[in-house]
Amino acid sequence: MEEIIIQKDNNFYCAFPDIIKLSNRNLAVVYREAERRQEGTCHLDSSSRAVLARSLDGGLSWKREGIVYNDEDGIQDPSIAKLRDGTLIANFFKWQVMKEEPFRHQVKGTFLISSKDNGKSWDNLIQIPNEEYSLLATSDATVELPTGRLLVPVYGNLPGEGSGSLAAISDDKGISWHLSTMAFDPLQNMDFVEPALALLPDGTILCMLRVEKIEQYLWQTYSTDGGETWSAPRRTPIWGFPPHLLVLEDGRLLCSYGYRRPPYGIRACLSEDGGKTWDLQNEIIIRNNGIHRDLGYPSSVELQGGKIFTAYYFHDLDHENGVRYIAGSIYEV
């Protein structure tokens, strides 16, 4: 297991990364960067922005390349995807954060921005309509289907009815959108949030879900009609959150996730049958030396030769208010 620092700066809180392979050795990571406060760390910050770092040597060395998006609102959980025509899509959600105490906040919605030059410049900001949802956030990348349909995994609150996960669907490259419900509990016993999507080789779309209120195992649901309808969610044996899904070149499915209880760290698990079963007996322990739960949000890519690069955020190991930074691990499965 080879550990690499992607971006670490004592002046910034760097977290919530998402990685993509642009070519054989060209990798990019987008992440949230915010000024470090004397009073400690905070996930709500009007200074936060989406930033891109790049590696040209298969993840061995990295350089902070520039800002993907920044405005007067706080930016949270940026993710990145590459479409078949070469366009890069970054999706994230925005906080409207009060800049004076108490630091109240309100989610403004999920947005997409695109790049036609491999991430050097970004424009064409699009907001996904909230419809009846009072909150619409995202934490995983856009998926493009063979038809050109775009699916963005989002989650939101129905006023008075709890939270659920949805697929935001566009058939015209983001001009118009509609939402389909992936998982929702009208009894409010479970809040399905932070969904992650993967397009399986047979065309099935798998969604893995974080459930915060009970037990914190990952749940999953499937769609076989392009994301319009979804199976009843079921619990997996995987404990950890939030998830990321990667279809490997040999057809296996890798789920990586933060392990936010002792021993704190980053883990992953394989499925050889498209997520029907998970090989938890051979759970992959990527990191197990964290000192508290403010870590994780991993994402993975497959490198040349079959090795995996998993990016995540971690913390200094000396005290709880240490620097948060973006790191990665290279390993074989």
> 40 and 8 in contact (C-beta within 8 Å)?
no
**Bridge partners of residue 18, in order along the sequence:** 30
**Range 25-48 burial, b when 16+ CB lie within 10 A, else e:** eebbbbbbbbebeeeebebebbbb
Give the containing element (helix H, strand E) for 246. strand 243-247
pLDDT per residue over 80-108, tens digit each?
999 999 999 999 999 877 666 555 677 88
Region 328-332: mean pLDDT is 96
> Is the alpha carbon torsion for 206, 209, 215, 216 positive or negative?
positive
pLDDT for position 198: 98
Region 2-28: mean pLDDT is 94
- Which residue did the predictor score with more confidence, 204 or 132? 204
Give the containing element (helix H, strand E) for 136. strand 135-137
* Domains of the chain in sequence order: 2-331 (2.120.10.10)
Region 271-290: mean pLDDT is 96
**Bridge partners of residue 32, in order along the sequence:** 15, 50
The Cα 169–Cα 182 span in angstroms is: 12
pLDDT per residue over 221-246, tens digit each?
999 999 999 999 999 999 999 999 99
**Bridge partners of residue 219, in order along the sequence:** 209, 235
The Cα 246–Cα 238 span in angstroms is: 16
The Cα 91–Cα 127 span in angstroms is: 9
Amino acid at 44: L
pLDDT for position 193: 92
| Beta pairing, strands 234-239 & 123-127 | unpaired
> 138 and 154 in contact (C-beta within 8 Å)?
yes
In order, the DSSP letters of 5-31 are EEE--TTEEEEEEEEEESSSS-EEEEE
- What's the DSSP call for residue 48? -
Measured between alpha carbons, how far is residue 46 from residues 34, 186, 248, 325 in Å?
A: 8, 33, 37, 19
Task: Answer whether residue 271 shows pLDDT above 90.
Answer: yes
* Token pair belonging to 187: 């009894």
**Bridge partners of residue 74, in order along the sequence:** 95
Lowest mean pLDDT among 41-55, 200-214, 236-250, 263-277: 41-55
Query: What's the angle, vertex CA 89, arms to CA 136 and CA 202, rounded to 5?
Result: 90
The Cα 312–Cα 231 span in angstroms is: 30
